[in-house]
A and B are shown apart, each in its own frame.
Chain A
Amino acid sequence: MKKVRKKTSSVFVMTVSILILFILGASYLHMTNGVFDMSVMDVVKTLLRIDPNPKFDLVIFEFRLPRIVIAALVGVGLGMAGVVLQGITRNGLADPGILGINAGAGAAVVIFMFFFQLRLTSADISSWLSILMMPMFGFVGGALAALLIFSFAQKNGHLDMQRLILTGIAINSGFGALSLFLSLKMSAQDFESAAVWMAGSIYNANWIFVVTMLPWLILLGFYVHRKAYLLDYFQLEEDSITSLGIPVEKEKKKLLMASVGLVSACVSVSGSIGFIGLMAPHIAKQLVGIQHRYVMPVSALIGAGLLIIADFIGKTVFAPSELAVGIVVSIIGIPYFLYLLVKSKA
C-alpha cells in the first residue's frame, strides 16, 4: 500500500510543478502580446519596476495583468466546480455550463445589472459595493437553477443522468431567454457590455473584479479541496456510502452548494464560460489518477492554464478585434465533449 501511495504522490508533485510552469508560460505569452506594441524587455522592465513608463504601466497593470489574473482565477473556480459536479453525479459529462448553472447565475447577474444600472468600469464607492454584491446575486440564480435541475432530474429518488442533461439544456434555454429579454430592456450602452459579458468574456477585466471573486474563490476553494476525499466515496453507490457512516445527502448538498458558489463567483466576473468544468477534470484524471484529493488541485491548475491560453487565442487570432473567450472555449470544448460522448460507456 505504501508503495502505491508513494508513486501517486510523486506523480502528483511532478504534475503540479509542470502545470505551474505551463501557466507561467501561458501568462508570459499573454502578457507580451497585444494590440499595444511592447517588446518583451519593456514588459519585464515594467514588472520589475526598472525605468517605469506610465504608458507601459497602464497597459500592463490596468489591462493585461488583471485579465490574466482573472482568467487564472476563473479557470481555477470552474476546474474545481467541474470536479465536484462530475463526482457527485458520477458522470463524466457533467459541467456547470451544460447543466445550466452558468445560465442561472448569469441571468441573476443580468437582473442585478439591470436593477442597479451598473456601469461596469467605474470605480467609486457605490459601484464598488454593488460590484461586490454581484457574486451573491449570481449565487442565488445559480442555486435556483441547480435546484430546478436536480429536482426535475429525479427518477424514483435517484438522479437520472439523461434527464439531468436534458433538463440542463432546457434550463439553459430558459435562463438564456430571460437574460436576453432583460438585456434588451437596458440602455444601449449597458446592452453592449451585457451582450459581450453574456458570451463569456474577460474583456473588461479589472482589479475590482478580482477583489470581488477572490474571497469566494479562496473560501469555497479550500472547502471543496478539504472535502475532495468524499468524492472518492461518492463513486460507490448510495447504500455502500451510507453503510460506511457518511451522511450522503447532507454532504452532497453541501458540496453542490459550494460548487454553485464557485461557479457564480466566476460567472459574475466573466460571464458564462462552459466546458472548462468538463475538460479540466478529465485531463486531470488522465494525469494523476482517480483520487480526488489529487485531482482537485490539478484540475484547478489545468482550468487556469486552459483559460489563459483560450483568452490569448481570442485576443490575438482575431486582432484587432477580440473573440470572446467563451466562444474560443466552446470551439475547443465541444469537439472534446463529443469525443468523450463517443468514448463513454454509459
Chain B
Amino acid sequence: MWKLKKTNIAAFSIVAASPFLIAIVALVSVMYGTKDISAITVWQAISAFDPSNVDHQIVRTGRIPRIAAVLLVGAFLAVAGAVMQGITRNYLASPSLMGVNDGSAFVITLAIVFFPGLPNYQMILLSMLGSALGAGIVFGFGSLIRNGLSPVRLAIIGTVIGTFLSSIATAIAMYFQVSQTVSAWYNTKVHMVDVDMLMLSIPFGLIGLILAFVSAKAITITSLGEDIAIGLGQKTKAVRIISMLAVVCLTGTAVALVGKIAFVGLVIPHITRFLVGVDYRFIIPCAAVIGAFFLALCDVLSRFVNYPYETPIGVLTALVGVPFFLYLVRKHGGEKGA
C-alpha cells in the first residue's frame, strides 16, 4: 500500500526503542516512591536477594510486581482498544466506553458476593465472562436502536450501561454488606497487586495478544469498510469472533488484575495510528509497547503529583484522556468510520 515504507520505519523504530524507554521508566518506578531506593539496591534485590533487608522486600513484593502489572495492563488495554476500534470502525470504541470494563467489574462483584474465596484463575475467567457480557449488552442494544452503532450512539449506550452495571453491582455489594472488598476491586489497586494473580495474567494476556496479532491482517481489512472486507472474500464472522475473544481475554485479565482504568484503550490506538499508519500488523505491537510505556509513566506520576500520597491512576489517565476525548469529538463529530 502507499505508505508502506514510511510506516515500516516508524513501527520498527518504535518497537526497537521501546525496551530502552520501558526499562528506564520501570527503573524510575521501582527506585522512587515513598521511600527512594538506589539502583544498586534494586539490582541486588533481584540478583542477591536478602530476605531480612527491608528495601529488598519492598522491591520484590511491592514495586516490581506493581510495575510489571502496570506494564502488562497498559499493553493489554491498548491492544484491546485498537482491536475494538479496528473491528467496529468506531473511533470511540474502547473497553471503558463500551461497557467492557464495567461488565468485568460487575461479574467480579457478583463472584465476591456469592462465591467468596474463588481461586485466582477462576476470577480471571469470570472477569473475561464479564467483559463479554458487557460488550454483548452494549452492542446488542446498539443494534436495536436506529443508527445505534454510530460512534456517538454507541459511546452513550456504553457509558450508560456501564453506569447501570456499576450501580447494580454497588447495590448488591451493599445488600450483602461486602462493599469494602468490592470497592477495593473497583478502584484500581495498583499498589496491592496480587503476585499470584500477576503470574496468572501473563499467560491469559498472552493468549489475548497472540489472538490479536494473528487477526491483525484481517482487522486491517475490516477497518477499511464492510463492503471492502466482503469484496475481498474475508470471513467477517470468524474474524469478529476471534478478535472479540482477544478483547475479552485482554480486558478480562486487566480488570481482574488492577480494576478499571479508563481512557488507555481509547487514546493509545489513536496515537499509534497517527505514528504508524493503518496497518494493524504494525498497530498492534506498537500499541502494546506504547500503552505499556504510557501507563507506566502515569503510574510514576501518580506517585509524585500529590507527594507523599498516591493518586489513583485513573485520575492521571483522565487528565490525558478527557482533553484528548474532547479533541476527538470536536474533530470527528458523530459520523461512522471516522
Asked if A and B touch directly (CB within 8 angstroms), the answer is: yes
A contact residues vs B (CB 8 Å cutoff): 152, 155, 160, 162-163, 165-167, 169-171, 173-174, 176-178, 180-181, 184-185, 199, 317-318, 321, 323, 327-328, 330-331, 334-335, 337-338, 341-342, 345
- Where chain B touches its partner, the secondary structure class is helix
Q: Which residue on chain B has the smallest CB distance to residue A335? A: B164
- Bound Cα distance from A193 to B98, whole angstroms: 31
Whether B312 lies near A160 (C-beta < 8 A) is: no
Whether B322 lies near A170 (C-beta < 8 A) is: yes
Asked whether any CB of chain A lies closer than 8 Å to the CB of B220, the reply is no
B contact residues vs A (CB 8 Å cutoff): 92, 97, 141, 144-146, 148, 152-153, 155-157, 159-161, 163-164, 167-168, 170-171, 174-175, 177, 262-263, 306, 309, 311-312, 314-315, 318-319, 321-322, 325-326, 329-330, 333-334
What would 24 A/B residue contacts be, using CB atoms closer than 8 Å?
A162-B152, A162-B333, A166-B92, A167-B326, A169-B156, A170-B329, A173-B263, A173-B318, A173-B325, A174-B318, A177-B318, A181-B306, A181-B315, A184-B306, A184-B311, A185-B306, A321-B174, A334-B160, A334-B161, A334-B163, A338-B160, A341-B156, A342-B144, A345-B146
- Bound Cα distance from A166 to B311, whole angstroms: 26
Q: Which residue on chain A has the smallest CB distance to residue B312? A: A180
Whether A173 lies near B329 (C-beta < 8 A) is: no
- Bound Cα distance from A174 to B321, whole angstroms: 9
Whether B315 lies near A169 (C-beta < 8 A) is: no
Q: Which residue on chain B has the smallest CB distance to residue A160? A: B333
- CB of A176 to closest CB in B, whole Å: 8
Whether B156 lies near A177 (C-beta < 8 A) is: no
Q: A318-B174, A334-B167 are in contact. Are A163 and B329 (CB under 8 A)?
A: yes
Task: Give the chain B neighbours of A178 by CB distance below 8 A.
Answer: 315
8 tightest Cβ-Cβ pairs between the two chains A and B: A177-B318, A162-B334, A174-B322, A334-B164, A162-B152, A330-B167, A170-B325, A177-B315
Q: Which residue on chain A has the smallest CB distance to residue B316? A: A177
- CB of A137 to closest CB in B, whole Å: 21
- CB of A148 to closest CB in B, whole Å: 8
- Bound Cα distance from A155 to B329, whole angstroms: 11
Task: Give the chain A neighbours of B164 by CB distance below 8 A.
Answer: 330-331, 334-335
In the complex, which of the residues B175, B311, B318 has the most CB atoms of chain A within 10 Å of its own CB atom? Answer: B318
- Bound Cα distance from A155 to B335, whole angstroms: 13
Task: Give the chain B neighbours of A330 by CB distance below 8 A.
Answer: 163-164, 167
- CB of B246 to closest CB in A, whole Å: 26
- Where chain A touches its partner, the secondary structure class is helix
- Bound Cα distance from A50 to B64, whole angstroms: 69
Whether A166 lies near B171 (C-beta < 8 A) is: no
- CB of B81 to closest CB in A, whole Å: 16
Q: A163-B330, A166-B329, A185-B306 are in contact. Are A338 and B312 (CB under 8 A)?
A: no
- Bound Cα distance from A163 to B334, whole angstroms: 7
Whether B155 lies near A180 (C-beta < 8 A) is: no
Q: Which residue on chain B has the smallest CB distance to residue A148? A: B326
Q: A180-B315, A185-B306, A341-B145 are in contact. Are A165 and B156 (CB under 8 A)?
A: yes
Task: Give the chain A neighbours of B141 by CB distance below 8 A.
Answer: 338, 341-342
Whether A177 lies near B163 (C-beta < 8 A) is: no
- CB of A83 to closest CB in B, whole Å: 21
Option from B170, B263, B326 in Cβ contact (under 8 Å) with A152:
B326
Task: Give the chain B neighbours of A181 by CB distance below 8 A.
Answer: 306, 311-312, 315
Q: Which residue on chain A has the smallest CB distance to residue B170? A: A327
- CB of B47 to closest CB in A, whole Å: 37
Whether A318 lies near B330 (C-beta < 8 A) is: no
- CB of B109 to closest CB in A, whole Å: 13
- Bound Cα distance from A331 to B167, whole angstroms: 6
Task: Give the chain B neighbours of A342 by CB distance below 8 A.
Answer: 141, 144-145
- Bound Cα distance from A287 to B108, whole angstroms: 42
- Bound Cα distance from A76 to B99, whole angstroms: 32
Whether B315 lies near A341 (C-beta < 8 A) is: no
Whether B326 lies near A170 (C-beta < 8 A) is: yes
- CB of B162 to closest CB in A, whole Å: 10
- Bound Cα distance from A331 to B312, whole angstroms: 26
Q: Which residue on chain A has the smallest CB distance to residue B167? A: A330
Whether A169 lies near B171 (C-beta < 8 A) is: no
Task: Give the chain B neighbours of A184 by CB distance below 8 A.
Answer: 306, 309, 311-312
- Bound Cα distance from A199 to B306, whole angstroms: 24
Task: Give the chain A neighbours of B144 by CB distance below 8 A.
Answer: 342
- Bound Cα distance from A319 to B228, whole angstroms: 58
- Bound Cα distance from A171 to B318, whole angstroms: 10
- CB of A181 to closest CB in B, whole Å: 5
Whether A163 lies near B322 (C-beta < 8 A) is: no
- Bound Cα distance from A317 to B174, whole angstroms: 11
Whether B175 lies near A177 (C-beta < 8 A) is: no
